[in-house]
Chain A
């Protein structure tokens, strides 16, 4: 089954404690991206990657890091999480076309 898998689905953490949200896709898509979704603001792109070892900043990259060492994986790293990073996070992948396939989301709370 074609899918994008994110883990964890829910996470509560404390300010400053490094965390990683994993994302894996099994569709051999070249393009992957991370979004955060906040009420009234819609989906905002954090980082994207057009292929292995090629990543670039989206609209809201501050406080986040990513890596793309393999085609299927695109982890999101928060080195020192802060409460303003409390949000719903989605990983997405797509091939050359417009259809994006999303993971189920990670609801992160930073206290």
Chain B
């Protein structure tokens, strides 16, 4: 079983719609969680951290469910520019490692 799992997609979503995807992690001792965004053939960039109480950044909302060991990302009013691959990342602070999911591809269509 992979340590961090994501549905690879692609999710094909019309512009303006709301889309959500999850990421599950296997290590219950994981401490911190993040979403990165990666545009085609580009480097990943930090999108947002995920806090226990949930957090919002504009149209993006991230949530953590420790009991079920998953994090989620919700995008409201999706834009064409949101088309990208979204990578779930778990920080295992005990050994200072970032564990990466394989990514979920999102395609926003006009």
- Where the two chains meet, the residues of A that have a C-beta atom closer than 8 Å to any C-beta of B are 31, 35, 40-45, 48, 50, 88, 90, 98-100, 102-105
| CB of B46 within 8 Å of the partner chain | yes
Give the total number of A-B pairs whose CB atoms are below 8 A apart: 43
Taking A40-B8, A43-B44, A102-B44 as given, write out 7 further A-B residue pairs in contact, using a Cβ cutoff of 8 Å, ordered by the A residue number: A42-B87, A42-B102, A88-B41, A98-B89, A98-B98, A99-B46, A104-B42
- Where the two chains meet, the residues of B that have a C-beta atom closer than 8 Å to any C-beta of A are 8, 32, 34, 36, 41-46, 49, 87, 89, 91, 96-98, 100-103
| B44 lies within 8 A of A100 (CB) | yes
Out of A41, A43, A104, name the residue touching B87 (CB < 8 Å): A43
| A103 lies within 8 A of B44 (CB) | no
Task: Give the complex CA separation of A43 and B2 in angstroms.
Answer: 13
